[in-house]
Structure 1
Amino acid sequence: MRVRISTVVALAAAVVVTATASVSGSAAAVAGSKTKTKPTIVLVHGAFADSASWSGVIEQLQRRGYPVVAAANPLRGLSSDAAYVRNVINSVPGPIVLAGHSYGGAVMTNAAAGDPDVKALVYIAAFAPDKGESALELSNKFPGSTLGDTLAPVPLGDGTNDLYIRQDLFRQQFAADVPKRQATLMAVTQRPVRDAALSEGSGEPAWKKTPSWFLIAGADRNIPVAAQRWMAERAGSRATIEIRKASHAVGVSNPGPVTDLIVRAATAR
């Protein structure tokens, strides 16, 4: 079979063009992976929840072009949980904005201390302890928390307990403004927190040197609203917003305002 020389040349040219385009595309992809115009948002869930509790917020952040990492908070002990989240932070190229919910706020307060890549802290119905303070101490500093009456402890054999919220009380305690079907799923899939984690004192807090933003859940039954306001004021919050009828699960019921506050922190100068 005869093949015209012109045909061979044309085919060779096509291969060269295709290969060049492929190499250029790969280079562009690599360059794109190294070009970071927005900070990574690292989300830290709290007790009685998991990373899926951030789903609505994650979707909105991604639509706005933010890279997101939802850390799996172990819920075993404040210092060990903070060490784990610090490892997550160290795996992410900076800059970083940390957002923590509930006990996750105490964890990020410790995990971010002294880290120059963390540009902002966003507390979502969260604990912001000072050195030596525990989540349990802060929740009892002001009246209003009814969490203790809803807990179901599971002994761990070492003198400590895993704490769950009773499923039949979960919605009214934790997620009163979340649709019943969704709150029921949250109750069944909740992750327990070890009681020792809630009573462990904090280390040096990141909020003393890193700018902070606070969202207060106005109908919170876990962390008293007065405690949330007090912690925000003490930390010198750059901006504090309050959603009057929001439950403790405010990130689930109100992902829009939570996302807006995180973006506000991410774009602050």
Structure 2
Amino acid sequence: MRKLTVRLTVLLTLLAVVTGIGASNAVAAHPSGGPKPTIVLVHGAFADGASWTPVIEQLQQRGFTAVAVANPLRGVRSDVEALDARLASIDGPVVLVGHSYGGAVITNSKARSPMVKALVYVAAFAPAKGEAAADLAGKYPGSTLGETLAPVPLPGGSQDLYIKPSLFRQQFAADVPARQAAVMAGTQRPILDAALAEASGEPAWASVPSWFVLAGADKNIPVKAQRFMADRAGARATVTVEGASHSVAVSRPDTVVRLIVRAAG
């Protein structure tokens, strides 16, 4: 009976090693020796969480947990509160990834330390204290967003801003297949006009390492503005994707994922 018990113990041990179900295996999966960080992705204006789909698919294939946060797009402070509430539900280290206006949100996250280990900006705003997204978009010539917007008046005098569907692809997703861009235009979420003019607070990038993906043919945030923000933030790495539209995470997910993985490592 004792011999049978020993044999069973040996077999179970071997099975754990072969199938990778041992507890130590999960830790060893990350180069640092600790658990892999959760990748939290924050979309910007005229998009939704589904805009991260190709990035999330690749991150999951690499063994990461990826979460696309529903960004309310109502204002920097209130959107940060929504992000911080979501971060409070996540255990362990986090890499924050922001696209477009979502970059302003991750820049202002109050839950950034010590849980947030890295910031990744994808064709995104990285404002300094007192700056607004609208200021940075107009810092250098090249943005044509204003002429494509379709405002929708709201009670109280504010406006929701959409991109006109007929102009959506050329403005926002020129390198995305036409059929896919048409779906993106139909599912876009509006941003409150005041959100783009709201001043930023103390920037997270001043104390948290940052990485930047720059979209070379961006018509929302000119690439010169993106490069200025990356240089000012002291980016650990900056990757310029020549010819990429503002929707670089949709059209070039491989490049975006590689930089996120570097930041996570």
TM over 0.5, shorter chain:
yes
CA distance 1:112–1:57, shift in 2 (3 Å): farther
Shift of 1:210: 0.1
**2: CA distance between counterparts of 1:60 and 1:114?**
25
**Could you tell me whether the CA contact under 8 Å between 1:97 and 1:120 is conserved in 2?**
yes
Shift of 1:111: 1.2
Q: Which amino acid aligns with 2:181?
A: A
**Could you tell me whether the CA contact under 8 Å between 1:112 and 1:118 is conserved in 2?**
no
Match of 1:179 among 172, 177, 180: 177
Greater Rg by CA: 1
The C-alpha deviation readout for 1:76-114, integer Å capped at 9, x for no partner, is: 011000111011111111210010000000001001565
Match of 2:220 among 219, 222, 231: 222
- Which residue does the alignment assign to 2:107? 109
Matched ranges for 1:134-149 at <5 A: 134-149=132-147
The C-alpha deviation readout for 1:104-142, integer Å capped at 9, x for no partner, is: 000010015652110000000000001111000110111
The C-alpha deviation readout for 1:246-268, integer Å capped at 9, x for no partner, is: 0000000000000000001001x
- Which residue does the alignment assign to 1:129? 127
SS at match of 1:58: helix
SS at match of 1:158: coil
**Could you tell me whether the CA contact under 8 Å between 2:98 and 2:106 is conserved in 1?**
yes
**2: CA distance between counterparts of 1:45 and 1:112?**
18
**2: CA distance between counterparts of 1:76 and 1:196?**
8
- Which residue does the alignment assign to 1:163? 161
- Which residue does the alignment assign to 1:59? 57
User: How high is the TM-score relative to the length of structure 2?
Assistant: 0.88
**1: CA distance between counterparts of 2:53 and 2:138?**
30
User: How high is the TM-score relative to the length of structure 1?
Assistant: 0.86
**Could you tell me whether the CA contact under 8 Å between 1:218 and 1:247 is conserved in 2?**
yes
Shift of 1:30: 11
Match of 1:95 among 93, 96, 110: 93
Shift of 1:217: 0.1
**2: CA distance between counterparts of 1:198 and 1:115?**
26
Shift of 1:37: 2.3
**Could you tell me whether the CA contact under 8 Å between 1:42 and 1:96 is conserved in 2?**
yes
- Which residue does the alignment assign to 1:46? 44
Match of 1:205 among 203, 206, 224: 203
**Could you tell me whether the CA contact under 8 Å between 2:84 and 2:111 is conserved in 1?**
no
**1: CA distance between counterparts of 2:23 and 2:70?**
29
Shift of 1:215: 0.4
SS at match of 1:41: strand
Q: Which amino acid aligns with 1:81?
A: D
Equivalent pairs: percent with the same residue?
Answer: 64
- Which residue does the alignment assign to 2:118? 120
**2: CA distance between counterparts of 1:113 and 1:30?**
32
**1: CA distance between counterparts of 2:257 and 2:144?**
27
Q: Which amino acid aligns with 2:127?
A: P
CA distance 1:216–1:242, shift in 2 (3 Å): same
Q: Which amino acid aligns with 1:44?
A: V
Q: Which amino acid aligns with 1:144?
A: G
SS at match of 2:72: coil
SS at match of 2:108: helix
The C-alpha deviation readout for 1:172-191, integer Å capped at 9, x for no partner, is: 00000000000000000000
Coordinate RMSD, CA, aligned: 2.2
- Which residue does the alignment assign to 2:150? 152
**Could you tell me whether the CA contact under 8 Å between 2:119 and 2:205 is conserved in 1?**
yes
Q: Which amino acid aligns with 1:69?
A: V
Shift of 1:29: 8.3
